[in-house]
Amino acid sequence: MVVNLEGVRGWFESYARGFDLTEPMLEMKYVHSRDVMRVGEALVRDLGWGAAEAETGVAACLLHDTGRFSQYRDFRTYQDGKSIDHGDRGYAVLAAELPRELADDGARAAILESVRLHNKRELPKGLGEGVLPFCRLVRDADKLDVFRLVQRCMREGREVELLPSHRLGLPLSETLLDEVERTGRGSYANAASMLDYLLIQMTWTLDLNYAPSRAILRRSGILDDIRGRFPRGDARVQRVLERLAGAADS
């Protein structure tokens, strides 16, 4: 498994700058991609991966949202349900445009599959060891940075810009709460408010693959910030949140 990480970085910069990064939503995805790469760098270091695997994982983290750029250009939205699956779009772009000399067959397969699967509800069964660790890495790094990004947007009052389909001021969905309490997962189809989105985010604690990922999330204090936005007097909600937060301690 061999990848030219500097070459991948150069390709990504050239590709991303082919879009209008003065548009705030595109610039946000450009910054997010680089930040996910940095999270990936920290994770592979903590996981003790060898150089070749680490560079492949970091490259996949950087490229994970390649499909977002043309998605926004073509549809003016990041909502996959109203446009295209951005993981699938990213896979198609990279399969066609990422130069083959930048990664051998093993690294290329790991990168492309990680990009394709990073946004899926869950990973399919039967992924081989040449792909599975990288898929897990990208999913963890992406979630960790989205946690941070959402918190920053909420502090800056930019929630609607980032999450236009999740309205401020609406209560928590009982249907969503029932689903999360029953299954540990939440469907965006049952979510309409910012509290709904934050509850779905809390379920991500159950879908972090690596212990260093959970440690980073614990140290960030983000889970406490999220829990503080829910009604403290609702014992049922607090029990659900406590259970989800506890998953980050395992």
What would the pLDDT profile of 220-231 be if each residue is shown by its tens digit? Answer: 999 999 999 998
For residue 250, pLDDT beyond 80: no
Task: Place 166 in a pLDDT band, splitting at 50, 70 and 90.
Answer: confident
CA distance between the termini of the chain: 32
Task: Place 232 in a pLDDT band, splitting at 50, 70 and 90.
Answer: confident
pLDDT of residue 160: 78
Domain boundaries, the chain: 5-138, 165-247
pLDDT of residue 57: 98
Least-confidence region, from 30-34, 136-140, 224-228: 224-228
Stated pTM of the model: 0.93
Q: Which of 65, 55, 71 is nearest to 110 (CA)?
A: 55
Buried b (16+ CB within 10 A) or exposed e, 162-174: bbebbeeeeebbe
3-state secondary structure the chain: CCECHHHHHHHHHHHHCCCCCCCHHHHHHHHHHHHHHHHHHHHHHHHCCCHHHHHHHHHHHHHCCHHHHHHHHHHCCCCHHHCCCHHHHHHHHHHHHCCHHHECHHHHHHHHHHHHHCCCCCCCCCCCCCCHHHHHHHHHHHHHHHHHHHHHHHHCCCHHHHCCCCECCCCCCHHHHHHHHHHCCCCHHHCCEHHHHHHHHHHHHHHCCCHHHHHHHHHHCHHHHHHCCCCCCCHHHHHHHHHHHHHCCC
What would the pLDDT profile of 63-86 be if each residue is shown by its tens digit? Answer: 999 999 999 999 999 999 899 999
Separation of alpha carbons 68 and 210, rounded Å? 26
